[in-house]
Amino acid sequence: MPRLDETLLRDVPPFRRLEGPEIREILDQALPKRFDAGAAVFREGHPATRFYLLLDGTIRVMRTSPEGEQVTSLHIPAGQLFGIAAALGRETYPATAVCAAECLTLSWPMSLWHVFVARYDGFAEEGYKTVGVRVAEMNQRIMDLATQRVEQRIASALLRLVNQTGRKVEGGVEIGFPITRQDISEMTGSTLHTVSRLLSRWERDGIVASRRKHVTVTDPHRLLLIAEG
């Protein structure tokens, strides 16, 4: 991969408060890598040897239940750090990171996390802000599972993905990476049958449109009303 120009990363959250020479120092220690869709960047429980910045693509964060079922915890869009186990005081990765689409990443040895935090104020602030946002999102998901009906959870999940990764297309806003009905069921604690039934009904009502691995929200306002109950 060609040497990255630091000016390309000045608007990326972990870098936006840093000066050009500081960004250059960090980039010169980074390992760039492309991953195919479906590839695991790292797996739950494995030693946390590196942390990552997602330059392009979407990461699906997955946990395995005691029964062996895969549960999608959240999605990480481009421009964010992930795999930052050191920020959580962990020596292993707490979840599996799977590429929902082709991904481009930069990574650094985990031993550099505390070095970067101590040396670069902006990097530290953005890194721990990322942790706070992820914890808040996970807490919200727990609340949703405890208090919302299944159609509300599914509507909320679709709106969240549209807000994070959506791209305007003819007729609406499409979720910016391939997603299946099984993926949606894993995100929302529901069954594949329930997701299929609701999406089919919402398609008839003109709220969403779906085709193989692609979902477009065609009426965000009506979907928001469903999410709000």
Q: Where are the domains of the chain?
A: 6-145, 148-227
C-alpha distances in Å from residue 78, one per residue of 11, 84, 129, 145, 198? 12, 15, 16, 26, 29
* 6-145 maps to CATH 2.60.120.10: yes
- Distance from the Cα of residue 47 to its chain's centroid: 21
Domains 6-145 and 148-227 share a fold: no
Surface-to-core class of residue 3, CB atoms within 10 Å of its CB (0-12 exposed, 13-18 middle, 19+ buried): exposed
Cα–Cα nearest to 141, from 226, 74, 65: 74
Specify the pLDDT at position 29. Answer: 92
**pLDDT means over runs of 10, the chain (229 residues):** 73 84 90 94 96 93 80 86 90 94 95 92 80 77 78 93 89 90 88 94 94 91 93
| Structure token pair of residue 176 | 């910016």
Specify the pLDDT at position 2. Answer: 61
Specify the pLDDT at position 222. Answer: 95
* 148-227 maps to CATH 1.10.10.10: yes
Q: Taking CA 14 as the corner, what is the angle to CA 48 and CA 114, rounded to the nearest 5 degrees?
A: 45
What's the predicted TM-score (pTM) here? Answer: 0.80
* Cβ-contact 107, 55 below 8 angstroms: no
